[in-house]
Structure 1
Amino acid sequence: MDEKHQHQHQPQIMASPRRYRARELLLVIMCFFVGVHLWTHSAAVPFLPQQAAEFLAPTQEGSVNGLVPFEAHIISKCPDTRHALRNLILPVMQKIHDKVDFKLSYIGKPTANGGVDCKHGPSECIGNIIELCAHELYPDPKIYLGFVMCLTKDYPQIPDRTLIEDCALEHAIDFNKLNECAARDETAHGIELLRNSVQRSAEANVTISCTIRLNNEVYCIRDDDQWKDCPNGPGVNDLVLAIEKLYRSS
């Protein structure tokens, strides 16, 4: 059975010293379901202020300040996302993080009423929103990408509150701020972040997690536990060399 669709039982993660905050994240999850209902069954929540819209707006073609556009389109509860982050994206970022404009974007299906359908249901939508909030609060990839990788290691457990607390603590992310971002305006803010990110992936015609794009073009795809459509090779050195070449020519 494809692991993207059904996961085996995983042992529970040990509780962190900050377990007393579990009620806060439980409130986020409860509010999220209310928010999904409002977005899909009634009038859409008003758009966020302009700065929020700009945060996840598509970049223009070409480099930004001489940096090479480097993007991974993912979903939070996905074994191919875990493999691509662990075996390609993180090792590459360790080598050339100062030469790329890196982004994580999420894949889903925008609904007619302004909501989002996620491949693995509401729990994945919650995971996506939590990761987007980490990105918004801590835009340095060294922080938010590490946090996302921490969650992804145990992706079947997302959005388990103990997992999120432990990963936040490990990567110096303020759990209260993360919680506030996801719950802001009765979860309208988090849903809007996700809707904008999903729309970005849709505009790039990306539907498979994990799709890696370099310089706004598909570089390689990890799907069904294998690499596909990788004419330059799926290795770390292959991608580093491709980025170095684009950086020198920018």
Structure 2
Amino acid sequence: MDEKHQHLPQPMNMDPPRASTIFAKARRLLLIAVLLIVSFHLVAVPFMPKDFFQCDHGSTTKALVPFEAHIISKCPDTRHALRNLILPAMQKVHDKVDFQLSYIGKPTANGGVECKHGPSECIGNIIELCARELYPDPKIHLGFVMCLTKDYPQIPDRALIEDCALEHAIDFNKLNECAARDETAHGIELLRNSVQRSADANVTISCTIRLNNEVYCIRDDDQWKDCPNGPGVNDLVLAIEKLYHGSS
């Protein structure tokens, strides 16, 4: 009790000795309760698992799985692979992969690039590479590429590029500036470097999908080839999950 209550007059029917006994017992019970609480924290807690009070939010940093698609912009096999395998897989495992689009062509002696479907395809490739340079997040530039690829015969029609840029919140003027920078030298360099990357990986067919720096599957002549794990979305997702978590 506090001092204020200790100085109040005793009720006439209260037996002082009995009240003192009650207060003494209360103090002993309180002391026992305090000791129990203290002993719980001092004795019981150390024997609990280390993570008893922790939640696993997956904070452990793991290496992203290299995931790459080698494409050309004016290609039906590219369209099919993006629409039916790459995009659906990325929706499920985008946070577990280091994704990249690389382009296929032939470097020329004068520092240029020869594209399978001519200069218009080279321009389309450059525009898509500029989108990646300006918007590194695959959720943006990959969606933009898919938008163009749906109407690939129209690449590089300005109306198509403007519509897809608007749909995916991409600045058309920045795309144009990137492609035309230094009298197109910047865009050609982006394409040349990308083509060289595909050549270094010995990739010549669009669309070739590589996982963990090895060929995973190829879409060519309107069919899947060299896909030992299967060309399905779930097959690809499972393969990425195994690599990401280090499973055999």
TM over 0.5: yes
Structure 2 residue aligned with 1:130, among 120, 127, 151?
Answer: 127
RMSD: 1.1
Corresponding position of 1:141: 138
Q: Which amino acid aligns with 2:143?
A: G
Please state how far the C-alpha of 1:114 moved relative to its aligned partner. 1.2
After TM superposition, the structure 1 = structure 2 runs for residues 71-220 of structure 1, keeping only pairs within 5 Å, are: 71-220=68-217
Task: Tell me if 1:230 matches 2:224.
Answer: no
Where structure 2 has 5 or more consecutive residues not aligned to the other structure, the ranges are 1-60
Aligned amino acid, residue 103 of structure 1? Q
Aligned equivalents of 2:119, 2:180: Cα separation in 1:
15
- Matches of 1:151 and 1:65, distance apart in 2: 33
CA offsets per residue over residues 135-168 of structure 1, 9 Å max, x none? 0000000000000000000000000000000000
Question: Contact 2:67 / 2:213 at 8 angstroms: preserved in 1?
Answer: yes
Greater relative contact order, per chain length (Cα 8 Å cut-off, separation 6+): 1
- In 1, Cα distance between equivalents of 2:160 and 2:108: 29
Shift of 1:113: 1.8
User: Percentage identity across aligned positions?
Assistant: 93
The count of aligned residue pairs is 187
SS in 1 for 2:99: strand
Q: Deviations over 1:65-100 (max 9, x none)?
A: 600000000000000000000000000000000000
C-alpha distance in 2, partners of 1:65/1:236? Answer: 22
TM-score, length of structure 2 as denominator length: 0.74
The residue identity in structure 1 corresponding to 2:180 is A
Deviating runs (4+, > 4 A) in structure 1? none
Choose from 66, 69, 72 the match for 2:66: 69
Q: CA deviation at 1:115?
A: 0.8
Distance (whole Å) between structure 2 residues aligned to residue 202 and residue 65 of structure 1: 29
Following the alignment from structure 1 to structure 2, what is the Cα–Cα distance between the partners of residues 120 and 81? 13
Structure 1 gap segments, 5+ residues each: 1-63
Tell me, in whole angstroms, the C-alpha distance in 2 between the residues paired with 1:221 and 1:99.
Answer: 22
Name the counterpart of 1:246.
243
Instruction: Name the amino acid aligned to 2:134.
Output: L
The aligned counterpart of 2:12 is none
